[in-house]
Amino acid sequence: MRLIQFLDTTKASPRHLGVVDGDEILDLTQGDGPASLFELYYDRGGDRYGLDAALAATVTAAAGNRTLSLTDLLAAPADSAVRLDKPVSGPDGKPYAMRVWLAGVTHEDSAKLREIEAQQATGDAVNVYDQKYRECAAGGRPELFSKGEPDTVVGHHGVITRPADTERLVPETELISVYGLNAAGQIERLGYTGGNDATDNGIEATNPLNLPQAKNWAGGCASMGPSLITASAYDDADVTVSCEILRGGQQVGFKEGRTGQSNLNMPDGLLHMERMLFRRLPLEPRQLQVLYWGTPIVFAEADLADGLQVGDVVRMTFSGGIGTLDNEIEPLPETTQLGLLEG
């Protein structure tokens, strides 16, 4: 099944969960239903009987609830009273109930281009990306890192911010898997969505040790959406993705690629990344995990020399029913908090 989370600010409790059938969204929250994937899984029996069973029971109970148009919600701007939210989140006031981790150098084209860019930026044969790619292909550790602040991950039509000291901001188009911890203490895949791991490629290429700063900043440094497909309904073997960049309404960049299990560079595919992540960071009870798979698409300087600029719109499309994710680039305001420190 296809799920979305949306906000209805005309209601006392604005967060809502919906199930999509064609262009129709059935509001599962109206009445006494779950308001999020988190609630569906942890509060409505998903962790005991499985997400599919909990969802089927919830859909039956929601018969007669209001329906909305998916087309209208996809078109609704970020300030609309009723608008899409990211499809996965922690409970209100508990953002860290959703962990966000990401992988890199998981696709051959990405590894090759990042190596070339690092050599161009430094003048040296860095080899770190090629080395990591080969290590992972041989069963070694993948590149895994965190978006440390879950609230900086936005949904469809959410804003990706561009810090003033950005050297070259680029989009990274990635498939995402979502996990929960069931009542028996076992991690299970709940579903799949798509996302943008926005990256300051300029500072990362200069020195790979800049990676945490190249991936994390305030406002919005990643996005996901627009919908989530439950694990039992999604074929993750071979997934087609695309990324289009619009500037002033005109296309200034476009690339397509393939991701999915058959396109990952590691033995056992996704399971290899899952083992490496969860061995060191097992899930806690009532916690969700989001894992970005790494991008098959890289915008090199030859493709987009100046990177993403304020006002650009990044449009990503994911096959298998996930849909199209739009995010505009806006400036991150300069901080005014340094006065005391700077004397």
Q: Which domains does the chain have, with CATH numbers?
A: 2-84 (no CATH), 95-340 (3.90.850.10)
SS3 162: strand
pLDDT (tens digit per residue) in 221-266: 999 999 999 999 999 999 999 999 999 999 999 999 999 999 999 9
**90-113 as b/e: b if 16+ CB within 10 A:** bbeeebebbbbbbbbbbbeebbbb
CB 117 within 8 A of CB 205: yes
The helix/strand count (H/E) of the chain reads as 10, 20
Encoding tokens for residue 97? Answer: 């109930």
Total count of residues recorded for the chain = 343
SS3 276: helix
Per-chain mean pLDDT for the chain:
94
SS3 136: helix
Please tell me the distance from the alpha carbon of residue 54 to that of residue 182, in angstroms, as a whole number.
13
Please tell me the distance from the alpha carbon of residue 283 to that of residue 184, in angstroms, as a whole number.
13
Bigger pLDDT: 242 or 111?
242
Q: For residue 77, with 0-12 CB atoms within 10 Å meaning exposed, 13-18 middle and 19 or more buried, which class applies?
A: exposed
In terms of pTM, does the model score above 0.85? yes
What was the pLDDT predicted at 207? 87
